[in-house]
């Protein structure tokens, strides 16, 4: 992916707009991972017990290993590493996928 995007101006692709970014440090990873956990279980917890519990930042939530995110969606791989399929998480669940990292970069960055 790095080689494919080496000469791409990411700002011109729209990547930098709307808060879209790659996860490049552990604090951002923890924040995005907890966001997925809160979306996955928050509404259920509120409906069942009337409150939510803090999500462990070190547990993978939503069956994805996130690497990229924007204001609405989180993009990630299967945590078992079985393929390079990119899953799209939105609000409560996985809502779609790209067959490969290459397909994701083609679609998202128009590279």
Q: In percent, how much of the chain has pLDDT > 70?
A: 81
Domain ranges for the chain, please list them.
Answer: 13-109
Q: Grade residue 71 by pLDDT with cuts at 50, 70 and 90.
A: confident
Which carries the bigger pLDDT value, residue 102 or residue 14? 102
Question: Is the predicted pLDDT of residue 17 greater than 50, yes or no?
Answer: no
Task: Please report the pLDDT score of residue 57 as a whole number.
Answer: 93
Q: Grade residue 54 by pLDDT with cuts at 50, 70 and 90.
A: confident
Alpha helix stretches (DSSP H) within the chain: 2-5, 10-13, 26-49, 101-109
Handedness of CA 91, 75, 10, 23 (dihedral sign): positive
Q: Grade residue 51 by pLDDT with cuts at 50, 70 and 90.
A: confident
């Amino acid at each position: 992916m790095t080689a494919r995007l080496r000469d791409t101006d990411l700002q011109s692709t729209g990547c930098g707009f709307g808060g879209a970014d790659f996860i490049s440090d552990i604090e951002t990873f923890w924040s995005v991972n907890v966001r997925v956990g809160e979306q996955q279980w928050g509404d259920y917890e509120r409906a069942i017990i009337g409150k939510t519990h803090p999500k462990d930042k070190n547990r993978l939530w939503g069956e994805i290993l996130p690497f990229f995110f924007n204001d609405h969606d989180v993009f990630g791989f299967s945590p078992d590493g079985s393929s390079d399929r990119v899953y799209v998480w939105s609000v409560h669940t996985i809502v779609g996928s790209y067959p490969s990292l290459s397909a994701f970069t083609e679609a998202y960055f128009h590279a």
